[in-house]
Chain A
Amino acid sequence: MIRITCPFCGERDHSEFSYGGDATVEYPALDASVGEWNEAVYKRSNPRGPHKEYWHHLNGCRSWLIVERDTLTHEVGKVEFAHPGLRAAVEKTA
Chain B
Amino acid sequence: MSGYRLDDGGLINRDNPLTFTFDGKEYTGFEGDSLASALIANGVDVVGRGFKYHRPRGVMSAGVEEGGALLTVGGGRFREPNTKAPVQPLFGGLVATAQNAWPSVQMDVGRINDVMKRFLAAGFYYKTFFGVRGGTKDWMLFEKIIRKAAGMGRASREPDPDSYETAHAACDVLVVGSGPAGLAAAKAASDAGKDVILAEQDFVLGGSYLSRPGGIDEAVGAIDALRIAGVTIMPRTCVFGLYDSGVAGLIEQVSDDPGLHGVRQRTWIVRPREIVLATGAIEQPLAFGNNDRPGVMQAGAVRTYLNRYAVAPGKRAVVATTNDSAYAVAADLVAAGVGVTLIDAREIGPDAPDGVKVMRGMVPIRTKGNYVLKGVEIGTLDDEGYAAAHDTLDCDLLAVSGGWTPAVHLTSHRGPKPVWNDTIHGFLAGTTNEAIRTCGAAAGVYDHDGCIASGEAVAQGEAGPQPEEGANPAMPLYEVKSRGKKLKCFIDPQHDVTTDDVRLAEREGFVSIEHNKRYTTLGMATDQGKVGNVIGIAIMADASGRTISETGTTTFRPPYSPISIGALAGRGTYMHFRPVRRTPLHDWNLAQGAVMTDAGLWKRPWYFPTDGESMDDAYIREMKAVRSTVGLCDVSTLGKIMVQGPDAGEFLNRVYVNGFGKLAIGKARYGVMLRDDGIVYDDGTVWRMSETDFLMTTTTANAAGVMAKLEEFLQTRWPDLKVQLTSVSDQWAGIAVAGPKCREVLQAVTTECDLSDEAFPFMGIREARIAEADVWIARISFSGERAFEVYVRGGSANAVMDALWDTARPIGGVLYGTEALGALRIEKGHVAGSELDGRTSLDDLGLGGMASSKKAFIGKAMSEREGMRDPDRLQLVGIAPVDSDKRLRAGALLDSRSDMVDQGEGFITAVTDSPDLGHWIGLALVKGGLKRWEGKEMISFDPARDGNTAVRVMSPHFFDPKGERMHG
Does B715 sit at the interface, judged by CB under 8 A?
A: yes
Assess whether A1 is in contact with B708, with CB atoms less than 8 Å apart: no
Contacts of A86 in B (CB 8 A): 715
Contacts of A37 in B (CB 8 A): 676, 861-862
| Alpha-carbon gap, A18 to B709, bound state (A) | 11
Assess whether B715 is in contact with A64, with CB atoms less than 8 Å apart: yes
Cβ-neighbour of A54 out of B244, B271, B712 (below 8 A) = B712
Contacts of A18 in B (CB 8 A): 708
Assess whether A64 is in contact with B716, with CB atoms less than 8 Å apart: yes
Assess whether B415 is in contact with A54, with CB atoms less than 8 Å apart: no
Query: Known contacts being A1-B247, A33-B861, A41-B677, is A56 close to B717, with CB within 8 Å?
Result: no
Partner-contacting stretch, out of B181-189, B852-860, B945-953: B852-860
A-B contact count (CB 8 A): 75
Chain A interface size range: 35 or more
**Distance from A91 Cβ to chain B, minimum over Cβ atoms (Å):** 15
Cβ-neighbour of A41 out of B269, B271, B715, B862 (below 8 A) = B862
Contacts of A90 in B (CB 8 A): none
User: What residue in chain A is nearest B415 (Cβ atoms)?
Assistant: A73
Assess whether A30 is in contact with B856, with CB atoms less than 8 Å apart: yes
**Distance from A62 Cβ to chain B, minimum over Cβ atoms (Å):** 6
B857-885 CB contacts (< 8 Å) to partner A: 857-858, 860-862, 864-865
Contacts of A94 in B (CB 8 A): none
Contacts of A33 in B (CB 8 A): 861
Does B654 sit at the interface, judged by CB under 8 A?
A: yes
User: What residue in chain B is nearest A56 (Cβ atoms)?
Assistant: B708
B665-692 CB contacts (< 8 Å) to partner A: 676-677
| Alpha-carbon gap, A34 to B856, bound state (A) | 13
**Distance from B954 Cβ to chain A, minimum over Cβ atoms (Å):** 35
Does B123 sit at the interface, judged by CB under 8 A?
A: no
| Alpha-carbon gap, A85 to B833, bound state (A) | 37
Does B16 sit at the interface, judged by CB under 8 A?
A: no
B241-255 CB contacts (< 8 Å) to partner A: 243-247
Assess whether A41 is in contact with B857, with CB atoms less than 8 Å apart: no
| Alpha-carbon gap, A41 to B862, bound state (A) | 9
Assess whether B711 is in contact with A62, with CB atoms less than 8 Å apart: yes
Contacts of A79 in B (CB 8 A): none
Query: Known contacts being A37-B676, A64-B711, is A84 close to B862, with CB within 8 Å?
Result: no
Contacts of A47 in B (CB 8 A): none
Contacts of B716 in A (CB 8 A): 20, 23, 54, 64, 82-83
User: What residue in chain A is nearest B248 (Cβ atoms)?
Assistant: A1
Contacts of A31 in B (CB 8 A): 856, 860-861
| Alpha-carbon gap, A74 to B246, bound state (A) | 11
Assess whether B715 is in contact with A58, with CB atoms less than 8 Å apart: no
**Distance from A39 Cβ to chain B, minimum over Cβ atoms (Å):** 11
A64-81 CB contacts (< 8 Å) to partner B: 64, 73-74, 76, 81
Assess whether A83 is in contact with B861, with CB atoms less than 8 Å apart: no
A37-51 CB contacts (< 8 Å) to partner B: 37-38, 40-41
Contacts of A36 in B (CB 8 A): 861
Contacts of B247 in A (CB 8 A): 1, 3, 13
Contacts of A64 in B (CB 8 A): 711-712, 715-716
Contacts of B865 in A (CB 8 A): 34
User: What residue in chain A is nearest B245 (Cβ atoms)?
Assistant: A3
Does A8 sit at the interface, judged by CB under 8 A?
A: no
Assess whether A1 is in contact with B861, with CB atoms less than 8 Å apart: no
Query: Known contacts being A1-B244, A2-B245, A56-B711, is A34 close to B717, with CB within 8 Å?
Result: no
**Distance from B46 Cβ to chain A, minimum over Cβ atoms (Å):** 44
Contact with A along B824-859 (1 / 0, CB 8 A): 000000000000000000000000000000001110
Contacts of A81 in B (CB 8 A): 715
- A–B pairs, 19, beta carbons within 8 Å: A1-B244, A1-B247, A1-B271, A23-B716, A29-B856, A30-B857, A30-B860, A32-B861, A34-B862, A36-B861, A37-B861, A54-B716, A62-B711, A64-B715, A64-B716, A73-B415, A74-B244, A82-B715, A83-B715
**A residues adjacent to B (C-beta < 8 A):** 1-3, 13-14, 18, 20, 23, 27-34, 36-38, 40-41, 54, 56, 58, 62-64, 73-74, 76, 81-86
Q: A3-B246, A31-B856, A83-B715 are in contact. List 19 more A-B contacts (CB 8 A).
A: A1-B245, A2-B244, A3-B244, A13-B247, A13-B271, A18-B708, A29-B856, A34-B861, A34-B864, A37-B861, A54-B712, A54-B716, A56-B711, A64-B712, A74-B244, A76-B245, A82-B715, A82-B719, A83-B716
The 10 A-B pairs with the shortest beta carbon distances in the complex, nearest first, are: A30-B856, A3-B245, A1-B247, A31-B856, A64-B715, A37-B861, A74-B244, A83-B715, A2-B244, A82-B716
